[in-house]
Structures are given as structure tokens and as C-alpha cells.
Amino acid sequence: MPIRRFALLTLLSCAAGATPAPSRIEVVFNDPTASFGAYYTDIERVTLAAGNAWLDSFQHIAAGAGLTVQVGFAGIATASGRSLASAYLSTGADGLRLYQQGASYELVTGIDSNGGGADIELMLGSTGYLQGELWFDPAPALRLAPVPQNRTDAMSVLLHEFGHALGFNGWRDGFNGALPGDYQSTFDAQVRAQRGQLGTPLVFVGEQARGLYGGDLPLTWGSYGHLGNLNAGADLVPDLMNGVAFHRGTRYGISALDLQVMRDLGLPMLVAVPEPASAALALAGLALLGSLHWRRWLALRLRGLGAAASTAA
């Protein structure tokens, strides 16, 4: 039986005049023999911080909505993340049934398409990746401690996997873009195949993302739920949702481009959009600026909460 741990997170909206909305993220460990119990505290801390960062990026979340995140362990090279259910939205004129990631659907509508089961599955590589590669930030919401140059930042990894669970996911063939049947995800619906030197590269054509990037977003060859390649779309490799590499000693954060992709998937994200002329120049620094803004905002908020608690006492 899964070991259940949870924390009540108060979502503090950045929107002026917005009322903070409470939401629950519950962490469940799928580790029947507790073989990785020594890592539970670190994993839980970073999982909650990563999930909270994404939830704070929503303009609004349905009252009472909550996510159960199941963390498991497997002999994989790195990590993976996905929603454990999909929610039917509609059938288009082309006969294709459209589905949204179950976790996002619950946040927006308050309806749990997965019933009493976990909403999101995060899997961590258990044959060395967890033990010798990941570094767990002692204060992942602040992200101030230096990341060791010989380790991969676990907060960055889990932010990336939450991105897949909330939207960057679908059923297309990663090379030719073919759908397996008469159904597609909200991400699939914004993907097109374009003939090129590599065969049939796939691109993301959502209006909001295209407007910020300045054109179609190149998707990773063979793993199209990611952004960028070493050739086509090399400027996207620094993005959180890139499918090329996560560098050791480096922090990755949710970028404005990631949020625009989510908006194209129909999610109510908080996004500040630069003027089109400056978008290309600003793209490389979006993740860094967002991370710095988040740290400053959270530090101020924590100080304010501490002052309020002192006054109440």
C-alpha cells in the first residue's frame, strides 16, 4: 500500500487584488518495501516546491481542487512524469476526440477524472540517478543555495516532469507526427509536421507561443513533448522543457514561453508578454529573470508572513 504524505499549500497569486486560494498537493510514495525511505523527506520537499511553482502560475484554480502525486522508483536513466488520466473535452469536425491532461483538468474544473486514484505519476531512476546524480535543494522554493557542479538540480527535474503532467504530452509518433487513432491531446492539437532535412520535424504552432517566440517552436526530434534540438531550435535548449540536456550545476525555471504553451493548451496561466520586437532578445533570459523574480517575491512574502505572525503573537 502506498505511503501517504501531504502538505497544505496556500497559493499566493501574483495578480493584483487576487484572493489567495488554498490547494492541497498530496505526495504518495509507491515503494512497497520502503527501499528508498531515506530519500522520502528530500523528494517530498522538492516535489511540493515544484508543484507549488506551477500552481502559482495559474490565474485561478477551482475551489477544492487538489492533486495527489505518486512518486515511484524504476530502473530508468533519469526521471519521467505524466498525468495518470485524461479528460474528454470535445470531438472536432475532423472526428478527432480531444483530451486534456487529467491533472490540469482537475485544477481548472475541480472535477477529478481519476476518481480516488493518484493524479500525477513521477518516476525516479533508482539505479544511480537518485542516489548519485540528483541534488536536493534544502530550500527549493527560494533556490538560493549553489547547485553542486557535479550534480543535477532535482527541483529543475521535477519542474520539468510536472510540465509534462500538466500539458507537454500526447500520443503522436515522435518522428512523423502520426496519431495512433481518432484521438489527440490538447498538445497534439497544436503540433504540425514540416518536411525538412531531418525527415519530418515536428513544430508547435500555438498562437500565444508563436507570438512570443516569433514563429513555430521546433520540437525535439523523436521526443516531441519537448522543445528544441541541437540544430533546429538550438536557442530553446536552455528552456526548462527542452529535450536535449539538463546540465549539472544549473537551475532551470518555468519560462514565459512554457507558460504561453500552456495557454495555447487552454490553461489560465499568469503571463507577462513582452513586445514582439523584443521577444527574441528576451527569450534567452526569460527563465533566469522568472527565477530571480520568484525568489525576490517569495522572500518578501515570507518576511511579510513572519511579521504578521509576530504581530498576531
Cα 198 to Cα 194, 238, 287, distances in angstroms? 10, 22, 29
Residue 308's pLDDT is 36
pLDDT for 313 equals 35
pLDDT one-digit tens code per residue, 37-53:
999 999 999 999 999 99
pLDDT value for 1: 52
| Structure confidence by residue, pLDDT tens digits, 256-307 | 999 999 999 999 999 765 544 444 444 444 444 444 444 444 444 444 434 3
Q: What is the pLDDT of residue 3?
A: 57
CB atoms within 10 A of CB 303: 10
Question: What integer is the mean pLDDT of 186-202?
Answer: 86
pLDDT score for 232 = 87
Q: How far apart are CA 108 and CA 60, in angstroms?
A: 8
Higher pLDDT, 193 or 280: 193
* pLDDT > 60? residue 5: no
What is the pTM (predicted TM-score) of this model? 0.82
Helix axes 256-264, 276-312, angle to 10 degrees: 100
Residue 20 pLDDT greater than 60, yes or no: no
- The pLDDT value recorded for residue 131 is 98
Rounded to an integer, what distance in angstroms lies between the CA atom of residue 228 and that of residue 217? 8
Say which range, 20-29, 135-144, 160-169, 266-275, has the weakest mean pLDDT: 20-29
pLDDT at 97 over 80: yes
> Given this model, what pLDDT does residue 270 score?
94
C-alpha–C-alpha distance, residues 261 and 241, integer Å: 10
- What pLDDT, in 10s, does the model give residues 198-216? 677 899 999 999 999 999 9
Mean pLDDT, residues 122-150 taken together: 98
Contact 48, 30 (CB under 8 A): no
Burial of residue 115 (number of CB atoms within 10 Å: 0-12, 13-18, 19+): exposed
| pLDDT (0 to 100) of residue 75 | 97
| Phi-psi category of residue 248: left, alpha or beta, with phi > 0 → left and psi -120 to 50 → alpha | beta
* CA distances, 251 to each of 18, 144, 149, 292 (Å): 29, 10, 11, 11
pLDDT for res 24: 80
Q: Is the pLDDT of residue 54 over 90?
A: yes
Which of 210, 290, 25, 248 shows the shortest CA–CA distance to 133?
248
- Closest of 76, 70, 45, 169 to residue 122, by C-alpha: 70
Task: Provide, rounded to the nearest whole percent, the portion of the chain with pLDDT above 90.
Answer: 74
Model pLDDT, residue 4 = 53
Return the closest-CA partner of residue 103 out of 95, 94, 93, 114: 114
* Region 101-127 average pLDDT: 96
